[in-house]
Structure 1
């Protein structure tokens, strides 16, 4: 694969395919942080949105067809040097495989990045998914994963050049989270507050919080849940708890999330599957205590964070015990006179991550692109 003629001031023309930010989710926040981290200064970035979270399947089909037509148009006019595919389970894989086939037809290299924490189990039990995955990743110039935990998976489904691209926070995001934490001079003296922020679905496990709190003292805690997804399911899940103890909000902006993290007794991440857990790095940037299931990429993300309490994956009894410790005031220990201190390693800084990505894109689109290696880049 040789170099391609570039027409945008010599910068790589990167075409990114993923979900629409109109219905935000984990992947859209990754792209937002990359933009804020300066990706648009390093490459000429263009996006095609292939789906919208929570839309019914007929609309998803329309989005997919429109996206593939747009991709065909851009590739046919030779307006992209490399394509970046954000891949999850289900229809996402099929959409990105179709996009990858188009990219190969036009001789354009592509990056395929796995995001879902369910991907490993899904391909293990689904022959079609496994076959499609091998077709997609074996022909990718780069297979990207969000954590070291998934490098082995990438290899097993055909990835050759494997790159670890963790979720990351921009300087602006880090500053907002740190400032909110600094504004809270002392720990709250009120009832413990358990914060959940993320997708409202069984995969992310908010129902495990409700089950764990059924024996907690009625006046001993408050649960605050934010995000998006199946609200009716979430409300039914928490219906057995005292209504005054439960607050269900929606998707909130960074400033509101920072305020919630700054005042919560603990962020709870009870996922059954987790690729990375972006909210974990937000918690680290705010110095917030975390109770989390040791599943998927969570262990990597929280490695070295002394305000984290990990429970074994799938162990409901251990999760109940951990939340009882929070509700009883036994954990976390007081933050001390200095308050909550941000503790986010620089590997989760968006500026570092986009620089790494840009360097790899330069490699696969430049004169040295024909040299095929087999390493994993962390």
Structure 2
């Protein structure tokens, strides 16, 4: 099989997902070729496996983007087009509707979070929902990245969906580790990792931290992408910005727990990254997070409007209970959220679509 992945944007969890997929598929015995159309070059793919097509937003740029993608599809003649996120998925499936994709090429689509499940004007959400419903008829398979995504797809009649939860490959040392060593008393550290944007709820977290003034240290890793918030830095909070792989690993290892205060979330990759490292997760009860975090076992779920109460509770949870939740999260990760499990399920889906 020849696979051509198309992603019109590349940031955050989507890049992590594509990195995991590319490493597996380029070594799979049933895939003869795995290439990518991306908005820019990346260090985890060779130039021969990457077609760079600039990100598009204006109508003219979208038309130019579609023409270049159509040319590449005709040149590569893939067995499967794997489309990532709503813009690439919308453009290429609209091309299929117009007969501009070879009939023998199968289309697998993953929204990586339904646009109509986000917070926004109801008329926009309605347009997104009806568009996804219509274009599902020009999809041979649709991957939902969480049970939550699958539930709402089925609710609105979106066809041909299957749940394949996101997965990650933690560092080799983490795969071999047993229970974490008992640490000496220290100031508890709570870690936030993600975009400093409204979706991720960082503003709610910072405001709550200032009100509650808990005894633990809050560490924030990430930076703004959408620039839809104005955040005021605080001397009481450790802002680290975006971190490279080794520095991010050190931040995960040095914390006691992770907090994910998202307003909406199709999946919640940071929660899985924390569980892979044996850290408890405190997350808002939205989207895919309610499927990942087992309340009271691997962490806690809370309504975002009650984040003050959650911060006070985090301050009081005994260290032994924190460690217990971390170990439970690690077991859940190994059972449900490894990259090998995700990648094997994706390739099986390809085979079913092609046959």
One fold, TM greater than 0.5?
yes
Contact 1:93 1:132 in 2 (8 A): no
Superposition map of 1:202-351 within 5 A: 202-217=198-213, 220-230=215-225, 236-239=230-233, 241=234, 243=235, 245-303=236-294, 306-312=297-303, 314=304, 316-317=305-306, 319-328=307-316, 330=318, 333=321, 335=323, 342-343=330-331, 344-351=333-340
Conservation of the 8 A alpha-carbon contact between 1:144 and 1:165: yes
Partner of 2:44: none
Unmatched 5+ stretches in structure 1: 1-11, 367-378
Q: CA deviation at 1:105?
A: 3.8
Alignment partners' CA distance in 2, 1:117 and 1:247: 32
Q: Cα RMSD (Å) of the superposition? A: 3.4
Partners of 2:133 and 2:40 in 1: how far apart?
22
Post-superposition offset of 1:46: 0.9
Secondary structure at the aligned position of 2:192 is classed as strand
Distance 1:309 1:40, change over 3 A: same
Partner of 2:46: none
User: Contact 1:97 / 1:135 at 8 angstroms: preserved in 2?
Assistant: no
Q: Which has the higher contact order (CA 8 A, sep 6+)?
A: 1
Cα deviation digits, residues 23-52 of structure 1 (max 9, x gap):
x31111111112234554242211112589
Deviation digits for residues 230-269 of structure 1 (CA, Å, limit 9, x no counterpart): 59776x4344x4x1x2122233233322222222122000
Q: Deviations over 1:185-240 (max 9, x none)?
A: 3336332212110121111101111121123348x332211123259776x4344x
Distance 2:101 2:55 in 1: 27
Select between 59-68 and 29-38 the one with higher mean Cα deviation.
59-68
CA deviation map 1:62-118 (0-9, x unaligned): 875554233212332352111111124xx5564454454467642122111121265
Structure 1 pair 178/321, CA: closer, same or farther in 2 (3 Å)?
Answer: farther
- Aligned in 2, Cα 1:346/1:333: closer, same or farther, shift over 3 Å? closer
| Equivalent of residue 29 in structure 1, options 16, 24, 35 | 16
Tell me the alpha carbon deviations over residues 314-336 of structure 1, each in whole angstroms, 9 at most, x when there is no partner: 3x22x211111223455772527
Aligned residue-pair number: 335
Normalised to the residue count of structure 2, the TM-score between the two structures is: 0.81
Q: Comparing 136-145 with 207-216, which one deviates more in the overlay?
A: 207-216
CA contact (8 A) 1:269 1:293 kept: yes
- Are 1:16 and 2:5 matched, yes or no? yes
1:1-378 correspondence runs (5 A): 12-19=1-8, 21=10, 24-38=11-25, 40-41=27-28, 42-43=30-31, 44-49=33-38, 60-61=57-58, 64-65=62-63, 67-77=65-75, 79-88=77-86, 91=87, 94-101=90-97, 105-107=101-103, 108-116=105-113, 118-121=115-118, 125-126=123-124, 127-170=126-169, 173-178=170-175, 185-187=181-183, 189-217=185-213, 220-230=215-225, 236-239=230-233, 241=234, 243=235, 245-303=236-294, 306-312=297-303, 314=304, 316-317=305-306, 319-328=307-316, 330=318, 333=321, 335=323, 342-343=330-331, 344-366=333-355
Q: Using the alignment, how far apart are the partners of 2:109 and 2:226 within structure 1?
A: 31
In structure 2, do the counterparts of structure 1 residues 132 and 196 end up closer, same or farther at CA, with 3 Å as the change threshold? same
Q: Does structure 2 retain, via aligned residues, the 8 Å contact 1:19–1:28?
A: no
Q: CA deviation at 1:159?
A: 3.2
Question: Which whole-Å CA distance do the structure 2 matches of 1:75 and 1:232 have between them?
Answer: 34
Distance in 2 between the 1:283 and 1:84 partners? 28
**CA distance in 1 between partners of 2:334 and 2:173 (Å):** 17
Report the Cα offset of residue 292 of structure 1: 0.5
- Taking structure 1 as the reference length, the TM-score comes to 0.76
* Greater than 6 Å deviation, 4+ residue runs: 181-184, 231-234, 338-341
- Long gaps (5+) in structure 2: 42-53
